Chains A and B, each alone.
Chain A
Amino acid sequence: MKRCFLLLAVLWSGQVSAQTVFLEKKEYTVRNQTARVKLQVSHSRSEPVSLTVRVKGPTSDPTKAGEVLTEGVAISPSSFKLAPNKMKKLTLTLTTNVTQKTPYFVCALYIPPVERKETQGGATSGSALLATESCSRFWVTP
């Protein structure tokens, strides 16, 4: 049944082209200073795209993500090319010594290819690059 809901969620998200993170649970317990988080990532762009998955730490505000964690995090795999409307299963191992229920954020980042534009002479022109990222908050409890 859970798969059905995930499928529905994917179909709904299929109406947009952004990448989406689906967490198996919202709360994880630390065992031996390690939390194992299962998640799935999908997108519905028209062609395969490269996505990067990363984890952000807590801040004083539980609704805001902090810095990207570079230590104590293992994501398998963390960067990959994914075909449209396919679910990529990932495992995130988070090493932490939290002493209270703490929010973390797992994110899927898409950076669009940069369009190279030739500018002639002193022409004034510009381009804006908007990368998009989808995050889901999960809680880690001691």
Chain B
Amino acid sequence: MKNKIAFAAALALVCAPAASFAGTSVEINASGTASSFCDISNTGGPINMTISANKDKLTGTGTYLFSANGDATVTLSALTPSAPQGAATYTPSVSLANLVTSNSTTQAVDSATKSGVNKITGAITSEIIQNNASELLSAGAYSLATTATCTAL
């Protein structure tokens, strides 16, 4: 009797794996989370500004690329211009076409929230425009600095 029980147990062990191969099914579960992100880049490289034919402003252009996979905003920090010593008054400005424009040297300027997925290419225009009675820009070297920040919400 003991032998029969032992034989039956051994048979069950041997046959069990075979039974599991009888019907093959594989369950695949995949899941993941895409981080929300945004990025903005100056794809045109350094921007050089040259004087206009009317002698009233310096203008330079470049290109930007903005992309985001969800709601995002773009902000231009307060502009930091520099001008020759004693220069006549002027106004700086930076524009990212269809996103945000700033001529403020004291405050950051925000774009409207861009919803959904976006990939936008546009022009960057930087200007130093005279703001004086003679409507002329003083001679010398000018510079303009700002930071374009995109924020993924």
Question: In the complex, are the beta carbons of B46 and A115 less than 8 A apart?
Answer: yes
Contact bitstring A1-32, B, C-beta under 8 A = 1, else 0: 11011101100110111111111101000000
Nearest A-chain residue to B46, judged by Cβ: A115
A64 vs B126: C-alpha distance in the bound complex, in angstroms? 24
**At the interface, yes or no: A65 with Cβ under 8 Å from chain B?**
yes
Q: Please name the residue on chain A nearest to B44 by beta carbon.
A: A130
Query: Are A136 and B140 neighbours in the complex by a CB distance under 8 Å?
Result: no
Q: Interface size (B, Cβ < 8 Å)? A: 52
Q: How far is the CA of A20 from the CA of B110 in the complex (A)?
A: 19
- Residues 112-132 of B, flagged 1 when their CB comes within 8 A of A and 0 if not, give 010000000000101010000
Chain A CB within 8 A of B31 CB: yes
Q: Is B91 an interface residue (CB 8 A)?
A: no
- Pick the contact of A125: B36, B58, B145 (CB < 8 A): B58
User: Once the chains bind, are A125 and B48 in contact (CB under 8 Å)?
Assistant: yes
Q: Could you tell me which A residues sit within 8 Å of B by CB distance? A: 1-2, 4-6, 8-9, 12-13, 15-24, 26, 63-65, 105, 107, 109, 112, 115, 117, 119, 122-137
Taking A63-B153, A119-B140, A132-B147 as given, write out 15 further A-B residue pairs in contact, using a Cβ cutoff of 8 Å, ordered by the A residue number: A20-B39, A22-B35, A23-B35, A63-B73, A63-B113, A64-B151, A124-B139, A124-B141, A125-B141, A125-B142, A127-B46, A128-B62, A129-B144, A130-B94, A134-B150
